[in-house]
Amino acid sequence: SDYAQEPTRHPSLRINAKEPFNAEATRRDLVASYITPVDLFLKRNHGPIPILDDIASYYVSIGGLVDRPAKLTLDDIKRLPKYNVTATLQCAGNRRTEMSKSRKVRGVGWDVCALGNATWGGAKLSDVLQLIGVPYHTEITLSGGKHVEFTSVDQCPEEKGGPYKASIPLGHATNPAADVLVAYEMNGEVLKRDHGYPLRVVVPGVIGARSVKWLNRIDIIEEECQGFFMQKDYKMFPPSVDWDNIVWSTRKPQMDYPVQSAICSLEDTNAIIPGEVTVAGYALSGGGRGIERVEISTDGGRTWSGAVRYQKEGVPYVPGDVTSDKWAWVLFKTVIDVRGDTEIIVKAVDSGANVQPESVDTIWNLRGILNTCWHRVRLLTIH
Ligand code: MTE
Ligand code: MO
């Protein structure tokens, strides 16, 4: 079968779909470290994992509306200045299972761990584009190019139109401060096959779907990418739109993700002995917005208390500070004293003062993306 040569994976992963392989870490594993080990990192695929081990003949074609089309080998990319960017990659489908409980949605079910935080090593896309004659901060080229399309080698099922593709606006791609990478390393090691070996794009602050793995082509194009995952998926619709009245063209492809947080030290329902309970998890927002507050409530959202946030253990997290990783999640931790049955709620506020919505119903959408409602877990006390 097409899936006869899949890589081996860590046995502790929670597998949500086997072929294509889609898996997430357990909650406790996910927040055990600020940097997610590669083995435990979200694996999100739409087809079999390609094998690209003939590096001598591998190259990325750069073309479209450019004067100097090029073929860049892995060495060409490695000769550009190398950057290490710590960025969280979150799938737009994170927490879909919970959304589906409110009203059924279509798509692979995910618990709260469809994300991971890694240090990606590679060249900046802005430098790659400069190499072929597109200067920094270009929103439109003389030949009318406005978007940068990434095409992969992996073959998605036929109805989803062949190789996986996505695009981002040219202004985003040519902004060196946006830290968009053509990456060849993950956590200081050569990128693993599951995560896009030999080259993948990493678009920090944007839903994972735009970070194309197993890069084959980069094209400057006039209109945004017309691929399935840009035009017929990963768009955010209001709750009134369902499969019988959807008009895909009425919405733009989703880019930034909204503010998000989840508790990972506890499952949805937990039997506990009364006493101190650790409430720990992650919070993040899109577009490079930091996390201003993480708040916990044990009275249904009437009152809230702040949780300690950190990235590096022992270093206070200050959103916007040059020492914090602007594209990365923050972890939080607090200890509460539990006397009887309790519901614990977490919500985060980002540096744009955006807050997670209280109820899933207000953000329900037919594809079950961007579930960012308050995250709740229940403690049932055993006496
Ligand atoms: N790139 C290719 N070529 N094929 C894919 O199926 N999935 C996308 C993105 N890039 C995908 C892809 C989606 S939806 C997500 S969330 C991320 O890759 C997941 O990256 P990861 O598996 O490295 O965590
Ligand atoms: Mo995704």
Cα 381 from Cα 383, distance rounded (Å):
6
pLDDT tens digits along 308-348: 999 998 888 999 898 899 999 999 999 999 999 999 999 99
Q: How confident is the model at residue 43 (pLDDT cuts 50, 70, 90)?
A: very high
* pTM (two decimals): 0.97
> Ligand 2 is a single-atom ion; what residues have CB below 5 A from it?
44, 91, 208-209
Cα(335) to centroid(ligand 2), Å? 32
Say which amino acid occupies 332: F
The whole-number pLDDT of residue 161 equals 76
Q: Which of 91, 110, 233 to mutate to test the pocket of ligand 1 (most atoms within 8 A of CB)?
A: 91
Atom of ligand 1 nearest to the CA of 41: 24
The whole-number pLDDT of residue 155 equals 82
Cα(23) to centroid(ligand 1), Å? 12
Cα(143) to centroid(ligand 2), Å? 32
> In what helix (H) or strand (E) does residue 125 lie, and over which residues does it extend?
helix 125-131
CB 52 within 8 A of CB 153: yes
Atom of ligand 1 nearest to the CA of 92: 16
What string of DSSP letters covers 156-186? EPGGG-EEEEEEEEHHHHT-GGG--EEEEEE
Q: Is the pLDDT confidence value at 353 over 90?
A: yes
- Predicted-assembly ipTM surpassing the 0.95 threshold: yes
Cα(204) to centroid(ligand 1), Å? 13
pLDDT tens digits along 52-75: 999 999 999 999 999 889 999 999
Can you identify the CATH homologous superfamily of domain 14-250? Oxidoreductase, molybdopterin-binding domain (3.90.420.10)
Q: Which of 21, 36, 41, 44 to mutate to test the pocket of ligand 1 (most atoms within 8 A of CB)?
A: 44
Q: Which CATH code for domain 260-381?
A: 2.60.40.650
Question: Which residues contact residue 303 at a Cβ distance below 8 angstroms, ignoring those fewer than 6 apart?
Answer: 297
The domain locations on the chain are 14-250, 260-381
CB 175 within 8 A of CB 154: no
